[in-house]
Amino acid sequence: MQRIILLTFMAISWAFCAEDATATGKLNGKEWVAVESRIDTRMPADEKTWTVAVYAEKLPKDEFVSKQPSLSLVVPRVVGKYNLGKGSSATMHTPPSENEQAEEGTIEVVEVGKEQVKVKVELKINENSHVTGIVTFKL
């Protein structure tokens, strides 16, 4: 009985941790992990969405161009789950200048706080590029 309870607890704990895992996946067939996410101030402000840059490396505050593949997300400002193309989008950028729009997926705004936003993404860009997990950015 104790074993069953322990195994059940471990399964629930694993599922809870997986739900809160940092965004990971593959971009251009290579393993990719989100390290930094921030509002892209180069894009015009919009009352309905944020444009968010997601990087696999930490960049200086005023830089927005990474040497590694990155993501650009258009994130609605209201909590909810959004299919791509309905007020939300995801684009993969591969340096120096290749951009590819995600084919399918969702962007779920989990939490909008005073200082930060938590988003869960499930994205398929192409056969070699997919990302799933949590992206958090400061307001």
Of all residues in the chain, the percent with pLDDT exceeding 70 is: 86
Per residue in 36-51, pLDDT tens? 999 998 887 789 999 9
- Edge to edge, what strands does the sheet with 129-138 contain? 30-33, 24-27, 129-138, 116-126, 104-112, 80-83
Residue 19: pLDDT band with limits 50, 70, 90 = low
Beta bridge partners of 111: 118
Mean pLDDT of the chain: 86
CA distance 65 to 116: 22
Per residue in 89-125, pLDDT tens? 999 998 888 899 998 999 999 999 999 999 999 999 9
Of all residues in the chain, the percent with pLDDT exceeding 90 is: 67
Q: If DSSP codes are grouped into helix, strand and coil, which group holds residue 131?
A: strand
The region of weakest confidence among 2-6, 28-32, 62-66 is 2-6
Per residue in 65-74, pLDDT tens? 899 999 999 9
